[in-house]
Amino acid sequence: MNKNRPKHLALHLIKLPLPGIISILHRVAGLLLFLALPFLLWTLQYSLRSIETFTFLTWMFHHPVSKMLFIGVMWAFLHHFCAGLRYLAIDFHWLRSLAQARSSSKVVLLVSLLLTIFFGVMIW
């Protein structure tokens, strides 16, 4: 038996393939959506309370920092949605080979970024 294996795994030296990166980003996007949910529900409740609170929210969302945060949450939703569709296709065995998995990872990354840029330009 070969005993020359490393004792500690150097994670920074491992080259993760694109499907692995998409998987990690899917989890990060889900966590970001989970953490943003109370703020989004508060915003909905606050916008429906009165005209004054709605006016305050419209003023608040014109600030560049809040627009950037909203675009970040929107990226999380779009990436999580696109990657979820990819995983659904994998579960239905529509994507069977490694080449299909890699190309679908590229499609997920490209589509989620393009949709985020499109909606971000509309918001800005």
Reported for 76-80, long-range contacts at CB under 8 A and 24+ positions apart, including other chains, are: 76/28, 76/29, 76/30, 76/32, 76/33, 76/36, 77/29, 77/33, 78/111, 78/112, 78/115, 78/116, 78/119, 79/25, 79/26, 79/29, 79/108, 79/112, 79/116, 80/26, 80/29, 80/30, 80/33
pLDDT surpasses 80 at 11 = no
Whether 4 maps to a domain, the answer reads no
Q: What is the pLDDT of residue 1?
A: 61
Whether 8 maps to a domain, the answer reads no
Q: Into how many domains does the chain fold?
A: 1
Whether 77 maps to a domain, the answer reads yes
Give the residue, 17 or 13, on which the prediction is more confident. 17
Whether 11 maps to a domain, the answer reads no
Domain that holds residue 61: 19-123
pLDDT band at 105 (very low <50, low <70, confident <90, very high): very high
Whether 51 maps to a domain, the answer reads yes
Whether 13 maps to a domain, the answer reads no
CATH number at residue 60: 1.20.1300.10
